[in-house]
Chains A and B, each alone.
Chain A
């Protein structure tokens, strides 16, 4: 296990608080929330080292972590860009122009769906319904919902994220539409 795959004390305190929500012999219940934190802390994806580290915290077998991490679509098992642009494309978003948003971003960033820009800044991903149907089309970036998108709005969001230069992680975001 590499040196850097370790939570700092503050994060470890948060992790222990989450574990305490469950009966002492049911601490595996905290696996998903802890994987979210691990993903945010260790580069936006879950490497085998990261998953093994989480297994060691919960005293469970590594395979119990792998099988969960591979089931849920929010867990990235491969590296992604600093900003993961997730565009919803299911029915309500589709009828309100989600395809145009995807094509526009592909052209603007010169990447295809599923790819990352060469500078490692943006990854474009299409996703299924995020519960924003009444404010379609929409895009999720980190914990932020960006809704009622127009192509102009998409352009300025990309500019804003690029100038921010990093992804705000799940652990330091507390309200929507904060970059």
Chain B
């Protein structure tokens, strides 16, 4: 059993209440940080911990914090990115719904470290009921003196608010999120300036994912050095993984980074194996944006070594044979899954979610959806595969924000690893109904 730092108490009855959360060690990091550490001490511990952003990009959190500009007389803000919208990802929802105080405690300790006096949790609009849970928990925290003026009798004061979005994947991109928080369309900003210098209302701002902020609490309690001993190499600590698709036990799991992928899929402690005893065909390991890998490349890397759930191991081999840990949205596909149809659902998603600012993404995602639609409807042409490849290449790297890349990578990887299935689908759209035949038939680009 791996170490658990975030959801170890998830099954304690009423853990969503402040009282029970406190009885299980909650709010200790606020006490410790505010009473015995300077803000800079907290930043140093986070740096030492090696914590990396849990939203998908994996950028070192301590470094991000140290970039925050601190001009005299200008308010700065911590904004929590709870706009969880990456297909396959639902771990932040689980954490906020079950243990809302874990996020609130992290927000207080992190806001103290950054010197923020008012902080915001931006949550996707569809998670309205979760926003209500958070608001109730925030009221409890105010009543208990963890929020508001002079927290725990110290001279640190903080206000914390929840803001709901209204259905836009792009608002998970941090500058689009800030635009949305300002009451505008969620169009990503050109960087620089980075939010650390000019973020919310032009003020210095740090935007962190829910899980990242929650992880600050155990880091403060155990110290950065101890936290860094958990996990493997530069993938320190634990990670919440959202597991879905054709598995026996879908759900959110906390793993110690470095767990073998094979164990994660087949062990009863986690996914519990493939549904109905079928064979594994492919996995999207870190949310819809990361490259899909066929069974043999997700279980072992191209050198034949076991693939581990870590930033480094999953990306071993680059995009030719590897993928990314991403957001930890782990989608498993069995041997009956049509990779072509599945890709169509992703292409439709990115077309729907493109904000429309940059032509390559706005037009390209639409073309990819249309071409894939014509293929699955049985009207594909053999040249469509190369056309899709060409379009995704022209999107990647040519847009203001990473949504363009996120739309390109699933298309590129599906063609790279399952080109034979695309060819057969186009040649014989009726016969391809039994896609089992294409299990492990792939060509590496």
Contact = CB atoms under 8 A, between A and B. Distances in A.
Contact of B352 (A128, A144, A145, A174): A128
Contact of A91 (B85, B87, B129): B87
Interface residues of A, number: 46
A174 B125 CA distance: 14
Contact of A23 (B201, B252, B329, B337): B201
Interface stretch (A68-76, A103-111, A154-162): A68-76
B199 to A, nearest CB: 13
B201 A26 contact: yes
A133 B180 CA distance: 25
Given A28-B183, A72-B168, A133-B88, A92 B244 contact: yes
A33 B163 contact: yes
Given A74-B125, A128-B353, A133 B163 contact: no
Contact of A95 (B161, B246, B252): B246
B28 to A, nearest CB: 28
A15 interface: no
Interface in A1-39: 21, 23, 26, 28-33, 35-36
Interface string A73-93: 111000000000000011110
B182 A90 contact: no
A124 B201 CA distance: 38
Given A74-B125, A90-B288, A176-B129, A136 B244 contact: yes
A173 B132 CA distance: 9
A134 B163 contact: no
B164 to A, nearest CB: 6
A179 interface: no
Interface in A39-76: 58, 64, 67-68, 71-75
A90 B349 contact: yes
Which secondary structure dominates where chain B touches chain A? mixed
Interface centre among A36, A91, A95, A133 (most CB of B within 10 A): A91
Contacts of B352: 73, 128
A75 B126 CA distance: 11
A68 B128 contact: no
A140 interface: yes
Interface stretch (B228-236, B317-325, B340-348): B340-348
A19 to B, nearest CB: 11
Interface centre among B87, B246, B348, B349 (most CB of A within 10 A): B87
A118 B272 CA distance: 46
B393 interface: no
Interface centre among B128, B183, B186, B346 (most CB of A within 10 A): B183
Interface in B86-101: 86-90, 93
A144 B129 CA distance: 7
Given A128-B353, A131-B85, A71 B250 contact: no
Nearest to A134: B250
Interface string B172-211: 0000000011111110000000000000010000000000
Given A92-B245, A131-B84, A133-B88, A21 B161 contact: yes
Given A128-B348, A134-B251, A92 B129 contact: no
Contacts of B93: 131
B128 A173 contact: yes
A94 B90 contact: no
A114 B250 CA distance: 30
A170 B132 CA distance: 10
Given A90-B288, A129-B349, A140-B126, A73 B242 contact: no
A128 B169 CA distance: 9
A17 to B, nearest CB: 11
A95 B90 CA distance: 17
B129 A145 contact: yes
B242 A134 contact: yes
B419 interface: no
A150 interface: no
A137 B201 CA distance: 39
Interface in A136-179: 136, 140, 143-145, 170, 173-176
A143 B128 contact: yes
Interface string B283-314: 01000100000000000000000000000000
A130 interface: yes
Contacts of B161: 21
A170 B128 CA distance: 8
B333 interface: yes
A132 interface: yes
B167 interface: yes
B62 interface: no
Nearest to A29: B183
B203 to A, nearest CB: 10
B92 to A, nearest CB: 8
Given A28-B183, A91-B346, 20 more contacts: A28-B182, A29-B181, A32-B165, A32-B166, A64-B183, A67-B185, A72-B125, A73-B168, A91-B288, A92-B244, A94-B341, A127-B167, A128-B353, A131-B89, A133-B250, A134-B243, A134-B252, A135-B250, A136-B244, A175-B129
19 contacts: A30-B183, A32-B180, A64-B183, A68-B185, A71-B186, A74-B167, A91-B245, A92-B244, A95-B342, A128-B352, A131-B84, A131-B90, A131-B126, A133-B329, A133-B331, A134-B244, A136-B244, A170-B128, A175-B129
Q: Which 9 A-B pairs have the closest CB atoms?
A: A72-B166, A31-B183, A133-B244, A73-B167, A74-B167, A134-B250, A28-B183, A129-B87, A92-B244
